[in-house]
Structure 1
Amino acid sequence: MRYLHTMVRVSDLDASLHFWCDLLGLEEMRRMDSEQGRFTLVFLAAPADRARSSAERSPEVELTYNWDPEQYSGGRNFGHLAYKVDDIHAACQRLLDGGVTINRPPRDGYMAFVRSPDGISVELLQEGDPLPPVEPWASMPNTGAW
């Protein structure tokens, strides 16, 4: 058995791809449009996974976009997705510059939480040892739920 992916439903595919790819740094691996089912599936993975065999890849995120409008709520019901990053301060700055609220700033140089446009909680963890605490993160309070 091998963990393959986590599926999250999204209400705005362009906004979601901007968050997951442009700001968070994942890459689109493949896409499938179903005219009959009226949906689009987009599979995303960490950049390093592009060069790995399918057996060596980390689990993917599957964005499911239903073409007919639906309301989604309770994105936190399943918990969160977690990603290790090379530089948590730089990752959070890129997200903040892109208009994303940092719900739990990386005050400790190790962990932060943000939310996707559809309310999916995303945990960011520093690869290796924590970075030294720095501003603006060190004194930034939590915002909203994470």
Structure 2
Amino acid sequence: MEVVVRRLPFGLARVVAPSLLGFALINGCTFGIDLLLLALLRSGLGLPVPIAFTIAYVVAFGLSFVLNRALNFRSHAPVGPQAGLYAVAILINYLAFILGLGSALTAIGVQYLLSRVVAGACEAAFMYSVMRWIIFRDTTSR
């Protein structure tokens, strides 16, 4: 990520942290998995929106934690405390953005996948900040 960031145009290399680019790539993939699972659970199995959101969310964020810890932030700190902080962060994120914003948008008539994308944009900013400055703050890839 450091090599890619150094080559960014318009002076962006001074602003974009390599961990932000890594986060964007990893979480872009896990968000795609989240949407795929959501569509399968909601449209395929007919589960209610909150249940489908929850299952897809837990699977995607578990994968996100493992990949970000190992590949992006390269943390070697004890996993237990980090997992605990991550659990608190995803609970806050889940209540505010997934159930709160995502379900509210669906309730007012926004299509459920679109409401998940909007909620996803909000959660991305929140989760990157929490991962970089709280959960994986012990790393050198800042």
Common fold: TM-score over 0.5: no
Which structure has more strand as a fraction of its residues?
1
TM class by smaller structure = under 0.3
What TM-score do you get using the length of structure 1 for normalisation? 0.27
What TM-score do you get using the length of structure 2 for normalisation? 0.28
Q: Which has the higher contact order (CA 8 A, sep 6+)?
A: 2
Which structure has more helix as a fraction of its residues?
2
